[in-house]
Amino acid sequence: MIQHIQTLAEQTGEVWQKLNDNPDKVYFPNFGDGDNVLKSGIDIDRVMFTIPGTNFKIYWYGFLIALGIILAMIYGFKKMKKAGVDPDRATDAVIGGFFGAIIGARLYYIAFSSNLSIKDFFSFRDGGLAIYGGLIGAIVVGGIITRLKKIRLTTMLDIAAPCFFIGQCLGRWGNFFNQEAFGTNTDKPWGMMSLTTANYVNNHITDGSVDPTLPIHPCFLYESLWCLLGFILLHFYFKHRKFDGEVILGYAALYGLGRFFIEGLRTDSLYIGNVRVSQLLAGICFVASVIAIIVVRIIIAKNKDYVFFKDTELSREQILQYENAKRFEKERKEFKAKIASAKANGEDAAELEKEYEEQFGEIAKKRQAEALVKAEENDIKAAAERKAARTKSKVSDDNEVENQAATTAQSKNDDVETESIETAASNVVEKVEETKTEVIESAQEKSEEIKTETVEPVQEKSEETKTETVEPVQEKPEETKTETVEPVQEKSEETKAETVEPAQEKSEETKIETVEPAQEKSEETKAETDKPAQEKSEETKQGSKNDNKPKQNNSNRNKNNRNKNRNKNRNNNNPNRNNSSRPNNKQGGGNKKNSNKRNNKPKGENN
Tell me the one-letter amino acid at 500. Answer: V
In DSSP terms, which residues pair with 84 in a beta bridge? none
CA distances from 307 to 84, 86, 102, 172, 376 (A): 12, 18, 34, 37, 14
3-state secondary structure 193-251: EEHHHHHHHHHHCCCCCCCCCCCECCHHHHHHHHHHHHHHHHHHHHHHCCCCCHHHHHH
- Number of CB atoms found within 10 A of residue 71's CB: 15
CB 167 within 8 A of CB 62: no
Q: Across residues 494-513, what is the average pLDDT?
A: 51
pLDDT score for 188: 94
The answer on pLDDT for 595 being more than 50 is: no
Residue-wise pLDDT for 188-247, tens only, equals: 999 999 999 999 999 988 888 999 999 999 999 999 999 999 999 999 999 999 999 999
pLDDT score for 243: 96
Q: Using CA of residue 275, residue 276, residue 279, residue 284, what is the dihedral sign?
A: positive
Nearest to 483 by CA among 583, 595, 599, 590: 590
Domain ranges within the chain, ordered by starting residue: 45-183+218-309, 316-404, 437-606
CA–CA dist 451, 293 (Å, integer): 94
pTM higher than 0.95: no
Instruction: Name the percent of the chain lying above pLDDT 90.
Output: 43
In DSSP terms, which residues pair with 42 in a beta bridge? 26
Residue-wise pLDDT for 60-113, tens only, equals: 998 999 999 999 999 999 999 999 999 999 999 999 999 999 999 999 988 888
pLDDT score for 599: 39
Helix (H) or strand (E) holding 49: strand 47-50
Nearest to 132 by CA among 265, 263, 18, 301: 263
Tell me the one-letter amino acid at 442. Answer: S
CA–CA dist 529, 521 (Å, integer): 12
Q: Could you tell me which residue, 479 or 154, shows the higher pLDDT?
A: 154
pLDDT score for 344: 86
Total number of residues shown for the chain: 607
The answer on pLDDT for 585 being more than 50 is: no
β-strands 25-27, 42-43 pairing: antiparallel
Q: Could you tell me which residue, 225 or 491, shows the higher pLDDT?
A: 225
- Crossing angle of helices 87-111/153-178, nearest 10°? 50
3-state secondary structure 142-153: HHHHHHHCCCCH
The answer on pLDDT for 515 being more than 70 is: no
- Mean confidence (pLDDT) of the chain: 78
Tell me the one-letter amino acid at 29. Answer: P
Rg (CA), the chain: 60
Q: Could you tell me which residue, 522 or 212, shows the higher pLDDT?
A: 212
Q: Which of helix, strand or coil describes residue 544?
A: helix
- Number of CB atoms found within 10 A of residue 27's CB: 22
Residue 304 φ/ψ region, left for φ over 0, alpha for ψ in the -120 to 50 degree band, beta for the rest: left
CA–CA dist 166, 99 (Å, integer): 18
DSSP assignment string, 122-173: T-GGG----HHHHHHHHHHHHHHHHHHTT--HHHHHHHHHHHHHHHHHHHHH
Q: Across residues 153-182, what is the average pLDDT?
A: 94
Out of 44-48, 334-338, 414-418, the most confident range is: 44-48
